Amino acid sequence: DTGVSQNPRHKITKRGQNVTFRCDPISEHNRLYWYRQTLGQGPEFLTYFQNEAQLEKSRLLSDRFSAERPKGSFSTLEIQRTEQGDSAMYLCASSLIAGGFGDEQFFGPGTRLTVL
Amino acid sequence: QQPVQSPQAVILREGEDAVINCSSSKALYSVHWYRQKHGEAPVFLMILLKGGEQKGHEKISASFNEKKQQSSLYLTASQLSYSGTYFCGTTVHFGNEKLTFGTGTRLTIIP
């Protein structure tokens, strides 16, 4: 078990460009979450999947953001027409939902996006 | 609204104890505690479910008062490695586990 991995770790792009990030969860985990974190703040929920189904998307997320999790394995987060306000750390977390217990979410190292 | 944590920051000498509080205005199902070091991902510490339980992990323990919608994290005999920013993450009902993170508490341990 190598934990949650994310690629790339850093991305610098120009305003208006599209970017795509990838997250590989812990192999047996059925839930996958995307969060965004800006400096000095806690992570902010973006969206989450159970297997391949996207169950919820934050109202704060504009139409420029889209996420997929084909076949319930890895996930991608795409941002179209990036803006400077999109600069942040994008964190992925995964968990295993089983029975009636709480959901321990394990985070990946994140992708730091800088929009120039 | 995001949970409010207190204190915002605290500086301790190695070996001292600390308490970090997390308060929510909403009825909670669970409280999760994470520690994050600068430039790194949040690291899971523990989860407390509705029921007022207290959990412990070596010298770190936590409690959850569901009547007050509050949780407290207790760090005893702090070590240098405890330095970082602590976040509580809360959920409001079983089945929807998106975390709403608190305002954070920066803990600095000095030798």
Model pLDDT for residues A54-102, shown as the tens digit of each residue: 999 998 788 999 999 998 899 999 999 999 999 999 999 999 876 656 6
User: Residue A40's pLDDT band (boundaries 50, 70, 90)?
Assistant: confident
Cβ neighbours of A97 in B, within 8 Å = 97
Residue A70 touches partner B, C-beta closer than 8 Å:
no
Q: Residue B53 has what pLDDT?
A: 64
Are the Cβ atoms of A56 and B42 closer than 8 angstroms?
no
Q: Is B50 exposed, middle or buried (0-12, 13-18, 19+ CB in 10 A)?
A: middle
CB A16 within 8 A of CB A37: no
Cβ neighbours of A7 in B, within 8 Å = none
User: Residue B57's pLDDT band (boundaries 50, 70, 90)?
Assistant: low
Cβ contacts of B7 within 8 Å, gap of 6 or more? B20, B105
The Cα–Cα gap between A93 and B76 comes to: 28
Cβ contacts of B15 within 8 Å, gap of 6 or more? B77, B78
Is a pLDDT exceeding 90 seen at residue B97?
Answer: no
Q: Residue B54 has what pLDDT?
A: 63
The Cα–Cα gap between A4 and B9 comes to: 29
Are the Cβ atoms of A91 and B42 closer than 8 angstroms?
yes
Are the Cβ atoms of A101 and B102 closer than 8 angstroms?
no
The residue-averaged pLDDT of A38-45 equals: 92
Are the Cβ atoms of B32 and A42 closer than 8 angstroms?
no
Model pLDDT for residues A6-22, shown as the tens digit of each residue: 999 999 999 999 999 99
The Cα–Cα gap between B15 and B110 comes to: 10
Is a pLDDT exceeding 60 seen at residue A1?
Answer: no
CB B37 within 8 A of CB B98: no
Strands A44-50 and A5-7: unpaired
Helix%, strand%, coil% for chain A, nearest 5: 5, 50, 45
